[in-house]
């Protein structure tokens, strides 16, 4: 898969290794890392290396990518210590709370209470 990239996108820069992160997983299409402002004891972000601004812009050509993101979430949640469940969130658009316009899946878990959410 050819990866397109936005040179101004912070997640594209992280995926390219230009900005460091606490990486927990990487393959040819996906990168997962710890959120810098965790809302839970386990708080990861799973991003495609492909620049896709939001879930609203995903189409049929992204089915496999989206499926890989969702099936990776439970594996990483368990590996990071979310043994009793976790939450997945994709914020989409301004009114959906999206802050970085590069599709990302939040994976949050661990003992409650959490700081937020």
Q: Does some domain include residue 2?
A: no
Q: Is the peptide bond preceding residue 113 cis, with omega within 30 degrees of 0? A: yes
pLDDT, position 112: 86
Which helix (H) or strand (E) element contains residue 8?
none
Catalytic residue numbers, as ranges: 104
In the predicted model, what is the mean pLDDT of residues 10-23?
97
Per the prediction, the chain carries an average pLDDT of: 94
**CATH number of domain containing 70:** 3.30.428.10
**Is the pLDDT at 3 greater than 80, yes or no?**
no
pLDDT per residue as tens digits for the range 19-63: 999 999 999 999 999 999 999 999 999 999 999 999 999 999 999
pLDDT band for position 115 (50/70/90)? confident
Return the residue matching tokens 């189409």. Answer: 59
Distance CA 57, CA 49 (A): 15
Confidence of residue 117 (pLDDT cuts 50, 70, 90): low
The owner of tokens 């879930």 is 55
Supply the range of the domain harboring residue 25: 10-109
Kindly state whether residue 76 falls inside one of the protein's structural domains: yes
Strand partners, 45: 33, 106
Total structural domains within the chain: 1
The model's pTM: 0.94
């Amino acid at each position: 898969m050819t990866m397109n990239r936005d040179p101004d996108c912070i997640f594209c820069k992280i995926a390219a290794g230009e900005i460091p992160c606490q990486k927990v997983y990487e393959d040819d299409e996906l990168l997962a890392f710890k959120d810098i402002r965790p809302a839970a004891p386990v708080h990861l972000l799973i991003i495609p290396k492909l620049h896709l601004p939001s879930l609203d812009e995903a189409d049929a050509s992204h089915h496999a990518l989206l499926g890989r993101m969702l099936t990776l979430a439970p594996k990483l949640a368990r590996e990071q210590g979310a043994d009793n469940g976790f939450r997945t969130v994709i914020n989409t658009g301004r009114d959906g709370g999206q802050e970085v316009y590069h599709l990302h899946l939040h994976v949050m878990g661990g003992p409650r209470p959490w700081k937020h959410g």
